[in-house]
Structure 1
C-alpha cells in the first residue's frame, strides 16, 4: 500500500472511467490504496453520460421481482441526494393511468412497496390526483382519469462521474484520460500492464486489476491471457431525444406504452423535454452509439400518444444513445434483463486478483464500489474500512444539503454577475463556484466569451481541474451548454483548447 503511481507501481489499476470505475477509485483512494485509473476516452464519455439522468429505485424493476436491487437503490437515492445536493435534486413523477396496460391496483401496490422498501426520509410519499382537475394534467391528451404522483431524483450524470474522479484525485489517485489498456498479464504475484496515452506506451505494475470498462468489459478480458470468461455481458442500447418543451411545470411523466415498456418525459435544460429511453439489443462491437430510426419513431409515437402537441422528427433538438453493459441473465426481452450488478473476482493460489464489473446502474454505483472493495479487502489487509456513506462529493458541502440557502449567499456575494449565470454555476460546481470565479466581480473579469454564458474562466477551470480536453467534453458532458450556444462555439472552443498556453496548462495540471 501507499506506492507511488509515478513509479509505475500501484496497488490498484482500474480500467474504465465511467461511474463504476470513478466510484471504485474514490473508495479505494480513501482507504489508503494507491490507485491509477485509465480511461480510453473522456470521463463518462459513453454509458455514464447517456442515462435518463435519474437517481431512482427503479419502480418498474419491481415487476421483475428485483426487490433487493430496488431496496438498495432507494436507500442510495437519499444518501446521494445528501452527498451532492448541487447536481442531484428531488423530482416528482406523474404516472397517468388512462392509457395504462396495468390495472390501477397493481400500480398502486408497486408504489406502496416503493414508498416503504428503502426507509424514505426526505422525499414525499405517493399521492393520487384527478388529471382533469390538477395542474399536472396540462399538456396531456386525453386529460382525464387519475394519476399517481411519486418522487425520485434528478442527477447530472456525467458530472457525478467527474466529481467522483476529482475526489479520488484529491485523495491521491491518478486519473488518466485518453489512455487505454493495451494488455495485461499476471507476473510475480501481481499484474504487469501496458497502457498507452498521449505520451506513448509505458508499463504499470499493480497488485490488483479492476475491470470496470462497461461495454468493453469482455474486450478487456480478451486482453488478459488466462482470464476467466464464465460471466457474460449483454449489451442493450438506450436512446433519448430532446424536443421543445411538451408541457408546463417542473414535474416529469412516467408513460406506460401498450407494449408495457416505460418511457420518461422529463423537464430538460429549461426549454426542452427529455424523452426516453428505449431498449434495443446491441449485437455489434462496443463503440459510439446513435439512435436508430425505429427508436426515433417509437419515442415520437409515445409523445403523440400522450401529449396535446405531436412532435415531428425535424423538431428534435438533440439525440443521444448509450450502450448499457447488463449482466447476461439469458432474458430474451431486453427490457427485462436485470439491472443488478455482478462482481466477478478472478483470483486464487498464485493468481493476482482481477475484479470484473458486470451490469449496475448509476444509482447504486457507491454501494457497488463498497462491495468491490469488500471483495478486494483480503489482498490489502492494511487498508482502512468503508467510509463513503455520507461523505460529500466536491461542491456538495452545504449545511443540511441546503442548495437554496447556498445559492442565496452566492447571489449576494457576487451581486454584479448575472443571476442566471450564477445559478447555472452553482448547480454545476456547488461550493466550488467561488473557487472557479476567483476574484472575478463582473462579466468583464471572466475573460473571453465563447457563446451563451460560457467564459474563459470556466473553461480554464475545467481544463485544470476536470480533465476537459475538447469542446465536446465541455459543451455536452461537463455541461449541456451545447444546447444553448450559437453556431461556431465548438470550433472557437477547440481552437482555444489547442493554443500552446492551454496545452501547457494541461501538461502541468
Structure 2
C-alpha cells in the first residue's frame, strides 16, 4: 500500500471542496482533494449560474446572508473576469404579486447592504420604451432593473482545482474515499480509483465537503454522527433557442411565490429556471421531470409574448442542492446559508453543510481559518485579492483582452477567439502556443473542438470523458452532432493515455 502524508484531505470536488483545497494549499498546507466523479459533476454544474446576493431572500429576513453574498459578488467578479461578468436583471411588475413599493424598498436595500464599485444600482423602467420590454406581453408596462453577476459554474470549480494544484495540492478525480479511521495524530484514509485499485494516505485533518453526500460520508466513511443535516432540494432548468436579442436577463414572479429566471445562454440560447422541489432519491440520479419542464414553460410563457413549449427544449439539467436544514415549511424558503461543523474529538474533522456558489470563497476562508487554529502554522488568508487561473486580464477589461488576442492571432476564427478568451482567459495562450494557422490547432474532432483544446483539457483540467468536455468544461454539447459524444469518446480512448495527468500532481 502506498502511504502519503498530508495536512488536510478534502472529500468532494464541488465548489466548496475545490475552494477549500485552493485556500489551504495557498496558505502552505499539504492538501489532497479527492472526488468520486468529475469535478463539479453534480450540484456545482447544475446551478442557475448566478453570482448574486439573493434578492428574494430579503423576504425571509435573511439580511446577514444577503449582505455576505453581496460583499462577495465584486470580489469574485475581479478574480475571474473571463468566466464571471456583470448582468442586468429586469423584473416586470406584476400587480397581482408584490406591490411596487415593496419591490422598490427591497431593491434599495439590495443596492445599499454592501459597497458596490463594479455593479450599477437599480432603477425603474418603462417596458413599453425599454428594449427589455419588446419580448414581453404588452400588459407589462412597468419594470425594475438591478445588477448581479453571471458565472460559468463548472469552470469556476475547475479553476479552483487548478489553482489548488498549482499551489502544490494533489487533486484526484474519480477517486472515492471509502474509509477514514481516526488515529492518535490524524486520519488513516482509504481511497479507491474507478479501476478498483485502493491505497491509503494519512492526513492530519479531514474535510467533508461532499455536498448532498455529506451525511453519508459522516455515517459510513468516518463512522461519526452529525449535529446538523442537509435538506435536499431539487432544482431543474431548461434551455430553449434564444428568445430575444438583447443582453438583459429577467426575473419573473409567479403565483406560487417562487421566482424563475430567463437568462441569455451561450449566444444562441435562453436558460430558464429554476424549480424548488423536495428530493429524497439518489442525488447522483436526479433528472428534470415532465412536470418541472411544463412548469418552467408555463411560467415563462405567462410573461413572454412567445409561447414556450416542451418541444422547444433543446436541453435540460437538474441538480440537488444540499441546503442547511432550518426546518422551513417549504423548499423555496430553506436558507441558502451554510454551517461548518468541526469535530475535535481527536484529529479534526470539518464538515460543510449548505452554501451557495456566491459565498464559496468566504466559506472556504472560514473553513481554513478553523483548521489553521487547530493545526497551527500556515500563512494568512489570501484569496480575497487573488485571481484565478486565466483571470489576470489587464485592468479586468475582458473586451479589450479579447480584441488583443484576435489581433495577436488574426488567423483565429473570431468565434473561437471569443470562446477561448471567455473559457480560459489568459491561459488561452497555452492552447494557441506554436499555432500560426487554423491547421495548427490539429484535427477538428467536433465542430468547434480542435485537438489543441482537447489536449489542454486532458493535461490541465482533469477532463477524462466526452461529457466532461462537452457539458462541464464547455457547453459544446449544445451544438454537437448526434454522434459527437461517441466521436469524442473515440478520440479520448486513442489519445488520453499519451498525455500527462494532473491527477499525478
Paired residue for 2:498? 504
Deviation at 1:506, TM superposition (A): 4.3
Aligned-pair CA distance for 1:378: 1.9
CA contact (8 A) 1:142 1:306 kept: no
The Cα offsets for residues 283-304 of structure 1, whole Å up to 9 and x where unpaired, read as 1232221001221111011122
Please say if residues 46 and 288 of structure 1, whose CA atoms lie closer than 8 Å, have aligned partners that are also in contact: no
C-alpha contact (below 8 Å) 1:227/1:346 kept by paired residues: no
Q: 2:42 aligns with which of 43, 46, 50?
A: 46
Runs of 4+ in 1 over 3 A off after TM superposition: 506-509
Q: Is the 8 A contact 2:460 2:501 kept in 1?
A: no
Match status 1:190 vs 2:186: yes
Note the aligned Cα RMSD (angstroms): 1.3
Q: Please, which runs of 5 or more residues in structure 2 have no aligned partner?
A: none
TM-score by length of 2: 0.97
Shift of 1:17: 0.1
Which SS does the other structure have where 2:155 is aligned?
helix
Tell me how far 1:144 sits from its aligned partner: 3.0
Query: Which whole-Å CA distance do the structure 2 matches of 1:173 and 1:99 have between them?
Result: 53
CA deviation profile, 1:107-142 (whole Å, cap 9, x unmatched): 111100000111111111001111112111011013
Deviates more, 1:293-302 or 1:216-225: 216-225
Q: Which residue of 2 aligns with 1:490?
A: 485
Count of aligned pairs between the two proteins:
501
Shift of 1:379: 2.1
456 and 34 in structure 1: CA distance in 2 versus 1, 3 angstrom threshold: same
2:145 and 2:200 map into 1 onto residues whose CA distance is 54
Deviations 1:449-468 (A, max 9, x none): 12221101000000000000
Check conservation: 1:236, 1:280, Cα contact below 8 A.
yes
Aligned pair 1:172/2:164, yes or no?
no
Q: Deviation at 1:352?
A: 1.1
CA distance in 2: counterparts of 1:286 and 1:144, whole angstroms:
39
What does 1:448-487 correspond to in 2, within 5 Å? 448-487=443-482
Q: Distance in 2 between matches of 1:184 and 1:146?
A: 58
Tell me the distance in 2 between the aligned counterparts of 1:99 and 1:84. Answer: 38
Three-state SS of the structure 2 residue aligned to 1:352 is: coil
SS in 2 for 1:29: helix
Of 345, 358, 363, 1:363 maps to: 358
Say which of 305, 309, 319 aligns to 1:312.
309
1:228 aligns with 2:225: yes
Instruction: Please state if 1:252 is matched with 2:262.
Output: no
Unaligned runs of 5+ in 1: 1-5
Does residue 441 (structure 1) correspond to residue 441 (structure 2)? The answer is no
Q: State the shift of 1:472 in Å.
A: 0.3
Residues 38 and 177 in structure 1, CA contact (< 8 A), matched pair in contact too: yes
- Taking the aligned partners of 1:347 and 1:285, their CA distance within structure 2 comes to 30
Q: 1:324 aligns with which of 297, 316, 321?
A: 321
Find out whether 1:271 has 2:288 as its counterpart: no
Q: Is the 8 A contact 2:252 2:300 kept in 1?
A: no
Q: 1:476 to 1:99 in 2, by over 3 A?
A: farther
1:230, CA displacement in angstroms?
Answer: 1.7
CA contact (8 A) 1:255 1:262 kept: yes
Return the alpha-carbon distance in structure 2 between the equivalents of residues 467 and 389 of structure 1: 26
Query: 10, 15, 33: which one pairs with 1:14?
Result: 10
Taking structure 1 as the reference length, what is the TM-score of the superposition? 0.96
Q: Does 1:296 align with 2:283?
A: no
2:378 matches 1:383: yes
1:57-96: CA deviation from partner (whole Å, max 9, x where unpaired): 1101111111111111111100111000000011110000
Q: How is 1:62-461 mapped onto 2 (pairs within 5 angstroms)? A: 62-98=58-94, 101-198=97-194, 200-224=197-221, 226-348=223-345, 351-461=346-456
CA distance in 1, matches of 2:382, 2:290: 46
Decide whether the 8 Å contact of 2:231 with 2:322 is kept in 1. yes
Could you say what secondary structure the match of 2:228 adopts? coil
Q: Distance in 1 between matches of 2:334 and 2:94?
A: 27
Asked whether the 8 Å contact 2:190–2:198 carries over to 1, the reply is yes
Q: Equivalents in 1 of 2:500, 2:220: separation in Å? A: 30
- Cα gap change, 1:44/1:456 in structure 2, threshold over 3 Å: closer, same or farther? same
For residue 383 of structure 2, give the secondary structure of its aligned residue in structure 1: coil
